[in-house]
């Protein structure tokens, strides 16, 4: 290093600081959406479809409690949400919001059997289907796995993205640290666990890259000749992209103490989920109850959710139709990296599209044994030739290669001999034997045999006295 190099670096730093001080306007989560349901701090977003006729089976995205969902919609050219919409999917998402003191007593039972179950029913009702696709991301994927095992009758497809289920590993610092964490002392002292404290732990798992290298890299790219307007505009856009990511990294909601306590103890410290020994709401979670198609997606260089924590899920479930995809990227790169738009989203969509249509009765098509060939790790294309079941006489024509033929809105389905007439627009669907009656807006869903009564009265009883007084449910008109 010489004096000239020091002067050049000083000039780059000076220009970078000038750009930062200008504080360019930037936004996150810009894909158009509407709030269709609220409960306590939680909101449900429905993204406005960008195709005329979206696939009939909707997607519900469940993101983690520890960060904010907009990493999936960071900017227009780096948006998982936007890409799914372009692929023809009908997308809903749970925004957990920011827990406060009144939420300290919320448990995993409240999140899984309470909030998620309520939202699943709401999405099923709005879409007019019995089952939906559950798309879990990171810790939200772990919660989705719990839900799918407890309520398999409501889940048609399960997609897990960088999702930990096996926590007994030494491949990541979080898993090593958590084993000796005195979580009782933390929760008893704070009640609501500070998000900033948890975020500091995440940053320390890779301190050089997260706290030094990224800033050095940013200033190295700020190098324009005086008067080069195009370069200056490019620099401004780079600063905006950098600030979007910084906003997400440091936007860490506080955590409901009791849910945090159980998650650390049962998952990180005792690894009960993968052992089928974890209990929430008085029910044991048995992963063998997961029989729906499963797509397990991982990032090869993930330092927060190592592949060893995600891979065991495929062997733990009973699904005959299951696939695994591993991409050469990191935990954040799988959402916003170059491969996210070019490879990750298209391959997820290719696997999911054939499973997002209805059969002639309006029910979801069941997967037959051997119908879908699992995708092997590192395999290029998730959809294999001959994967779709051939059309049998009397069945509705299946989707041909390159063709997407969803059920048309308002189209009358043919009535088969001995079969009850399908639902017409504006009519109430009759209940078939063994079929669950869809919940109409304003109608209380009946409790099914063997299913826990999750109506509001029982849900309020589970929550603390302080929490009961704050409960606020709002349903937006469809």
pLDDT in tens, 428-477: 344 344 444 444 444 444 444 444 444 444 444 444 433 443 445 555 55
* pLDDT score recorded for residue 208: 62
* pLDDT score recorded for residue 351: 98
138 tagged catalytic: yes
- Tell me the C-alpha distance between 26 and 49, whole Å: 24
Residue segments in the chain with a per-residue pLDDT below the cut of 70: 1-24, 202-228, 359-478
pLDDT in tens, 100-129: 988 999 999 999 999 999 999 999 999 999
Looking at 138, 231, 267, 345, which residue is catalytic?
138
Domain that residue 318 falls in: 33-180+254-385+438-467
Q: Are strands 59-62 and 42-47 parallel, antiparallel or unpaired?
A: unpaired
Is 6 within a domain? no
* pLDDT score recorded for residue 52: 94
Is 409 within a domain? no
Is 223 within a domain? no
- Tell me the C-alpha distance between 338 and 77, whole Å: 10
Is 240 within a domain? no
Report the length, in residues, of the chain.
Answer: 478
Structure token digits, residue 89: 């999917």
* pLDDT score recorded for residue 62: 98
* pLDDT score recorded for residue 201: 72
For the chain, the domain total comes to 1
* pLDDT score recorded for residue 389: 40
Q: How many CB atoms lie within 10 A of CB 241?
A: 17
Q: Are strands 33-39 and 473-475 parallel, antiparallel or unpaired?
A: antiparallel
Is 433 within a domain? no
* pLDDT score recorded for residue 472: 54
* pLDDT score recorded for residue 108: 98
- Tell me the C-alpha distance between 220 and 307, whole Å: 32
* pLDDT score recorded for residue 406: 45
Strand spans (E) along 199-340: 255-256, 279-280, 283-284, 294-299, 322-327
Q: What is the CATH number of the domain that holds 138?
A: 3.40.50.1820
Is 393 within a domain? no
Is 377 within a domain? yes
Is 24 within a domain? no
């Amino acid at each position: 290093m010489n004096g000239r190099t020091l002067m050049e670096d000083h000039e780059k730093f000076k220009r970078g600081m000038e750009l930062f001080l200008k504080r360019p306007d930037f936004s996150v989560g810009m894909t158009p959406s509407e709030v269709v349901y609220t409960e306590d701090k939680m909101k449900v977003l429905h993204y406005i479809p960008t195709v005329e006729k979206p696939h009939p089976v909707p997607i519900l995205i469940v993101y983690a409690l520890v960060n904010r969902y907009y990493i999936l919609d960071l900017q227009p050219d780096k948006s998982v949400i936007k890409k799914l919409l372009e692929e023809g999917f009908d997308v809903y998402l749970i925004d957990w919001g920011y827990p406060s003191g009144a939420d300290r007593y919320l448990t995993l039972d409240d999140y899984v059997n309470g909030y998620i179950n309520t939202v699943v029913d709401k999405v099923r009702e709005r879409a007019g289907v019995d089952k939906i696709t559950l798309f879990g991301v990171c810790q939200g994927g772990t919660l989705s796995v719990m839900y799918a095992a407890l309520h398999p009758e409501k889940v048609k497809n399960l997609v897990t993205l960088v999702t930990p289920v096996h926590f007994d590993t030494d491949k990541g610092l979080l898993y090593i640290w958590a084993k000796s964490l005195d979580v009782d002392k933390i929760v008893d002292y704070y009640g609501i666990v500070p998000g900033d404290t948890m975020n500091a732990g995440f940053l320390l798992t890779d301190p050089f890259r997260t706290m030094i290298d990224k800033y050095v890299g940013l200033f190295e790219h700020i190098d324009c000749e005086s008067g080069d307007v195009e370069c200056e505009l490019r620099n401004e856009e780079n600063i905006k992209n950098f600030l979007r990511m910084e906003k997400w990294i440091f936007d860490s909601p506080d955590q409901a103490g009791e849910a945090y306590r159980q998650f650390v103890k049962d998952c990180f410290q005792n690894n009960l989920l993968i052992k089928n020994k974890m209990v929430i709401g008085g029910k044991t979670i048995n992963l063998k109850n997961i029989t729906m198609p499963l797509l397990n997606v991982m990032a090869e260089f993930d330092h927060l959710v190592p592949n060893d924590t995600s891979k065991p899920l495929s062997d733990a479930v009973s699904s005959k139709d299951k696939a695994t995809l591993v991409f050469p990227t990191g935990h954040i790169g799988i959402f916003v990296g170059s491969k996210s738009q070019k490879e990750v989203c298209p391959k997820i969509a290719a696997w999911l599209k054939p499973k997002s249509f209805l059969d002639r009765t309006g029910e979801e098509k069941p997967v037959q044994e051997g119908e879908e060939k699992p995708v092997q790790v590192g395999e290029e294309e998730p959809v294999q030739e001959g994967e779709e079941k051939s059309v049998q006489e009397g069945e509705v024509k299946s989707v041909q290669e390159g063709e997407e033929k969803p059920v048309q809105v308002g189209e009358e389905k043919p009535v088969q001999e001995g079969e009850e007439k399908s639902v017409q627009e504006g009519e109430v669907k009759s209940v078939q034997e063994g079929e669950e009656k869809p919940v109409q807006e304003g109608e209380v869903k009946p409790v099914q045999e063997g299913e826990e009564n999750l109506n509001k009265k029982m849900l309020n009883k589970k929550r603390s006295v302080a929490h009961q007084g704050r409960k606020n449910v709002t349903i937006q008109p469809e």
